[in-house]
Structure 1
């Protein structure tokens, strides 16, 4: 049996506890860090031009086919936006699977296409 004291029920005492458990929002890196880490920015490449390259796009997709956020990729805001568009385009074109990460055997299927 636990005893509750009256001062523990005040607004001031209750609000301190709720603030100490707050988690930092998962935002991406700062602009300077993103420019340093972003290969698309450093090499002046457009991520949309990689919409037909599943090897590049698979590095930014989870096992379930979800696009990683900027906090995980470390890209600039512009590159992340264009990369997301390229991945969604590739999914719509059937270049990468919708609900999973592309595997090597899936990308390099050597069977003959159906006539």
Structure 2
């Protein structure tokens, strides 16, 4: 194997070649401390602290990015919930439920027209069967009795209450029992309900 000549490498890396020649003669501390052999020997030991710090910094940055992403997602979810709550509040105040494709005239948006949609329509569910209660045992419950009585004390018909014939008869018997005992007035709503509604 032919000997290596340092002059051949001077063409490819002139700065490193000149640095090696000038190192023994230089008084500059940076140049005199440069030693490629010592750099190679300490290659594994020297950047250990730096690499550990770099890894820790990367882990910290990743954790920070994840926490920021989670906080941003949480903020977006909270904002969406607040917007949905506001929308639901507005929908509750609107008596008429508009469906897609509904045709309406300007007078349909009049408050008097919209108030018609607030009125209770006939029920198609038998509440007594749904709750599994006996109407004869509920004669002391004036809130329930007043749901099946008009403002003048008349018993609502089965078309309006939606009760089965047997439950309608039992509810009518409970209403007559409450009025006969004086628990519920026979000519107007119960005073407790009137006080609650006028608040």
TM-score computed with the length of structure 2 as normaliser = 0.34
Which of residues 129, 132, 135 is equivalent to 1:47? 135
Instruction: Indicate yes or no: 2:169 matched with 1:81.
Output: yes
Give 1:14's aligned residue: none
Moved over 4 A (4+): 105-108
1:14-53 aligned at under 5 Å gives the runs 37-53=125-141
Cα displacement (A) at 1:42: 1.7
Q: Which runs of 5+ in 1 are unaligned?
A: 1-28, 109-115
Cα displacement (A) at 1:104: 2.1
Query: Which structure: larger Rg?
Result: 2
Deviations 1:55-82 (A, max 9, x none): 1100111010100000110111111000
Cα displacement (A) at 1:43: 2.3
Of stretches 87-96 and 98-107 in structure 1, the one that deviates more from structure 2 is 98-107
Give 1:67's aligned residue: 155
Q: Which runs of 5+ in 2 are unaligned?
A: 1-121
Which of residues 98, 101, 105 is equivalent to 2:186? 98
Higher helix share: 2
With a CA cutoff of 8 Å and minimum separation of 6, indicate the structure with the bigger relative contact order.
1
| RMSD value, Cα | 2.4
TM-score computed with the length of structure 1 as normaliser = 0.58
For residues 71 and 81 of structure 1, the distance between their equivalents in structure 2, rounded to whole angstroms, comes to 13
